[in-house]
Amino acid sequence: MLTRNLALISEVEGHDPSDVSRVAAALQRQATRDLGPIWEVSATVDAFPRLEDVPVGYWPMFVRNDIEHEGAEGIHLDEHSQPYALITYSDSWSLTASHEMCEMLVDPGGNRLIPGQSPKPDQGRVSFIVEVCDPPEAAEFGYTVNDILVSDFYTPRFFDPVAVESVRYSFTGAIKKPRDILPGGYISWIDPVSNRLWQEKWFENGREFAEGPPLEGNVRSLRAEVDKWTPHPQLSKGLDSTDPTLQAAVAVGEQTAAASSARAARLREEISAVLDDA
């Protein structure tokens, strides 16, 4: 299995390098333990202080204070059609980074399609765009890795034709049936009759269908077209500091930090004793 190498780079002035390293370690564990076996991908995730330090061949993930243009967040393709991600810094930036990492690893080019019956009753068979984190993207359906908040993602069984009780449709189990969405999420597809993007989304107005723009000309990345059309408030602006999901993750993270500091202190004492006896 070919291993994909990802580089996490923060260009946020004053961003604690330890924070970046902790998130990179959580993303590495999520990719190796959770995403990899389910989607048959292999990846490394490493933190680098500057883009100039990233080896050739790594796919960069940039964390920035201001992406500047609405809809520019997400995964893009460079001049050689290699993916890179733009992530807005916030109190919940790890959730956004996890979302982008999972989608980058499962579908680097953003053009993977899976056929199936449209959620819209009068539409027939359509082609779903593979975006593994969109249906459960709200923070309340995320989970923690190393006590860092990360995104849930659906499994390949998400596109099954019928529901089976014992099947896992998303990693956390929050999605209970094929091609379903959760509050705050959405699913996108192409209608071959009209050659337009369509979505079922569940935002502030409840569940609804939305007709998107026509797919004209040479579209480099279907995922990028969807991202330009779809608002991602939790990903682009982050969670409010009072959000209960974020607060719970922060509280557990503080306990983890205390445990890590205690372990580090004991290990330093042991190393000092070994050196003194040498």
Q: What are phi and psi of 20, to 5 degrees?
A: -65, -40
Tokens 């089976």, residue located: 164
**206: region left, alpha or beta (phi > 0 left; psi from -120 to 50 alpha):** left
- Assess contact for 178 and 163: CB atoms under 8 A: yes
Mean pLDDT value across the chain: 90
> Lowest mean pLDDT: which of 1-15, 88-102, 109-123, 206-220?
206-220
Of the pLDDT bands very low, low, confident and very high (cuts 50, 70, 90), residue 71 is low
pLDDT of 50 higher than 70: yes
**Can you tell me the mean pLDDT for 245-271?**
70
Compute the average pLDDT of residues 37-48: 98
**Cα–Cα distance measured from residue 6 to residue 101, given in angstroms and rounded to the nearest whole number:** 8
Residue scoring higher pLDDT (235 or 132): 132
Residue 213 banded pLDDT, cuts 50, 70, 90: confident
**What 8-state DSSP symbol labels residue 154?**
B
Q: Determine which of 55-64, 167-176, 265-274 has the lowest per-residue pLDDT on average.
A: 265-274
Could you tell me the pLDDT band of residue 179, with boundaries at 50, 70 and 90? very high
Q: Which residue has the higher pLDDT, 229 or 137?
A: 137
How many angstroms separate the first and last alpha carbons of the chain? 45
Q: What is the pLDDT of residue 237?
A: 63
pLDDT in tens, 18-37: 999 999 999 999 999 999 99
Give the per-residue pLDDT at 137: 94
- What sign has the CA pseudo-torsion 59, 63, 69, 73? positive
Q: What's the whole-number mean pLDDT along residues 66-73?
A: 68
Q: Check: CB of residue 136 under 8 Å from CB of residue 172.
A: yes
Q: Give the count of beta carbons closer than 10 Å to the beta carbon of residue 36.
A: 16
State the DSSP code for 145.
E
> If you write DSSP's letter for every residue of 5-41 in order, what string do you get?
EEEEEE--TT--HHHHHHHHHHHHHIIIIIIHHHHT-
CA–CA separation, 85 and 75 (whole Å): 4
Contacts of 92 (CB under 8 A, 6+ apart): 139, 149, 234, 238, 239, 243, 246
pLDDT on residue 277:
76
- The pairing of strands 42-48 and 3-10 is parallel
pLDDT of residue 270: 72
Within 8 A by CB and 6+ apart from 132, the residues are 39, 102, 103, 106, 107, 153, 154
Could you tell me what percent of the chain has a pLDDT over 90?
71
What's the pLDDT at 233?
62
Nearest to 98 by CA among 135, 53, 45, 156: 45
Kindly report which listed range (80-89, 154-163, 261-270) carries the lowest average pLDDT score: 261-270
Residue 198 pLDDT grade (very low, low, confident, very high; cuts 50, 70, 90)? very high
Collapse the DSSP code of 156 into the 3-class scheme (helix H, G, I; strand E, B; otherwise coil) and give the result: helix
